Amino acid sequence: MSILVVGSVAFDTIETPHHGRADEVLGGSASYFAVAASYFAPVKLVAVIGEDFPAKEKDFLASRNIDLEGLSVSKGKTFRWTGRYHEDMNIRDTLDLQLNVFSTFSPVLPQSYRNSPFVFLANINPGLQDGVLDQMTTTPRLIACDTITHWIEGARKELEALLKRVEMMVINDEEARMLSGETNVVRAARKILGMGPKTLLVKRGEYGVLSFSPNSVFAVPAYPLEEVFDPTGAGDSFAGGMMGYLAASGDLSEANVRKGIVYGSVVASFVVEDFSLNRLRTLTRDDIDRRYRQFVSLTEF
């Protein structure tokens, strides 16, 4: 089953404490999600790029079998984001953000996208995320969304309206605390589940992921790596791998969602091994399955 993703396609500039920097490399929440999900299921991408977006990057996305009918080209420059990681790579600062063509982005779904059974609303204005759902002609089997502190602070009403329409929310611990007003992550999760989603996945960087639903909690560590080059996009790749697995199997049982969470964690663990989406340019499905088996033995007792 196919997955629709709406979000950003960007050029990122990344500064790291020990592995140097990368300038104007492919990034964006939708790029990471789409490529990660493409290992499992067909993906339909909705985003905007500027006239400066290189054909070779478009070809890369197309080579992953990602449907680009919804990738529109606007007059102007592609969205740019610059981030710097601290010594503790779970912490980063945004140094610069140039919205460019993204500032007027209003997603319009091509006709062939409107019956997608799986929908991921990556980080964009919650009002626009809501507008995407209004364009669906059939009820999706699973709607999931992400957000960032910027929208929790600046568009809370719109975000709360959106949350009534989504089954799954995927955010990091800082966002969960801000959204709920609770410092304890378990209490935060309980409050957010009261806002609409049936499942809340809390991403905790190198500490892994916590999954909350009304009757259960599931914890998965991050795959232990000796070196993390660039954590950018780990969260979106996690969501892509997880939803990709669910869309491929079509099984939304709790046991299968847990497997999806492990697949998502595996894909994210590869992404952070290099800058940008570079590791995904060579990664194979066999590599993913091999590390999945290692992950199973890592967590077995």
Q: Which residues bind ligand AMP (CB under 6 A)?
A: 8, 10, 12, 27-29, 81, 123, 232-236
The nearest distance, CB 7 to ligand AMP, in angstroms, is: 7
> Is 106 or 114 the residue whose CB approaches ligand AMP more closely?
106
Contact 15, 36 (CB under 8 A): no
> Is 9 or 262 the residue whose CB approaches ligand AMP more closely?
9
At how many degrees (to 10) do helices 29-37 and 234-249 cross? 40
> Is 100 or 123 the residue whose CB approaches ligand AMP more closely?
123
The nearest distance, CB 200 to ligand AMP, in angstroms, is: 17
What would you measure as the largest C-alpha separation in the chain, in angstroms? Answer: 56
User: Cβ neighbours of residue 159 under 8 Å, at least 6 residues apart?
Assistant: 126, 147, 151, 152, 179
The nearest distance, CB 20 to ligand AMP, in angstroms, is: 17
Token duo for residue 37: 């999900």
Q: In the chain, what is the straight-line distance between the N-terminal and C-terminal CA atoms, in Å?
A: 34
The nearest distance, CB 157 to ligand AMP, in angstroms, is: 19
At how many degrees (to 10) do helices 254-271 and 285-299 cross? 110
> Is 235 or 244 the residue whose CB approaches ligand AMP more closely?
235
> Is 200 or 234 the residue whose CB approaches ligand AMP more closely?
234
Q: Name the residue with the smallest CB distance to ligand AMP.
A: 27
The nearest distance, CB 196 to ligand AMP, in angstroms, is: 22
Please report, for residues 113, 124, 240, 245, the alpha-carbon distance to residue 137 in angstroms, rounded to integers and kept in the order given.
Answer: 9, 21, 23, 24
User: Cβ neighbours of residue 42 under 8 Å, at least 6 residues apart?
Assistant: 2, 3, 65, 67
The nearest distance, CB 213 to ligand AMP, in angstroms, is: 22
Contact 189, 176 (CB under 8 A): yes
> Is 8 or 211 the residue whose CB approaches ligand AMP more closely?
8
